[in-house]
Amino acid sequence: MHRDIRWPNVIKSRDGDNSWFLIDFMDAAQSPQLSPSGHHLSRAEHAPEIFSDGSHTTAVDVWSVGRLIQTCGDVVYGSWYDTGREWTQFLELLMHDDPSRRPTAVAALDRLRQLEQE
């Protein structure tokens, strides 16, 4: 798992092919993993369990993808805009406080593809 998915760690290809890449794997680890000290991580940009005394799984990355989607309006347009109830529910699910209630990455991708076609 990456454990630090946020806009500063996402770059766009210069080739014009609309490809995006995740960079900075300094915090990457196998899942499950004990929570890091978190001293260099922002609570606003990372799943709550990263800062707990327990362990965490790839669900932290699912939460972070939800945060990317939630804030992409801020990055691209300067403010978040309402995309409708289904998108809001999807983001709430991705960013659920209980990691066991979040979808897997595969299930999240499938739902994202469905939402894009609606």
Q: Which residues are catalytic?
A: 4
Round to whole Å and give the CA distance between 113 and 48: 26
CA dihedral over 41, 95, 92, 67, signed as positive or negative: positive
pTM equals 0.83
Report whether pLDDT(39) > 70: no
Please tell me the predicted confidence (pLDDT) of residue 22.
Answer: 94
pLDDT band at 74; cut points 50, 70, 90: low
CA dihedral over 22, 31, 45, 66, signed as positive or negative: positive
Please tell me the predicted confidence (pLDDT) of residue 21.
Answer: 94
Please tell me the predicted confidence (pLDDT) of residue 36.
Answer: 64
**Mean pLDDT along residues 65-91:** 74
Report whether pLDDT(111) > 70: yes
Q: Which domains does the chain have, with CATH numbers?
A: 7-117 (1.10.510.10)
**Mean pLDDT along residues 77-98:** 78
pLDDT band at 82; cut points 50, 70, 90: low
Please tell me the predicted confidence (pLDDT) of residue 9.
Answer: 94
SS3 58: coil
Residue 102 DSSP label = S
Q: Can you read off the two tokens belonging to residue 87?
A: 């998108």
Please tell me the predicted confidence (pLDDT) of residue 97.
Answer: 95
pLDDT band at 16; cut points 50, 70, 90: confident
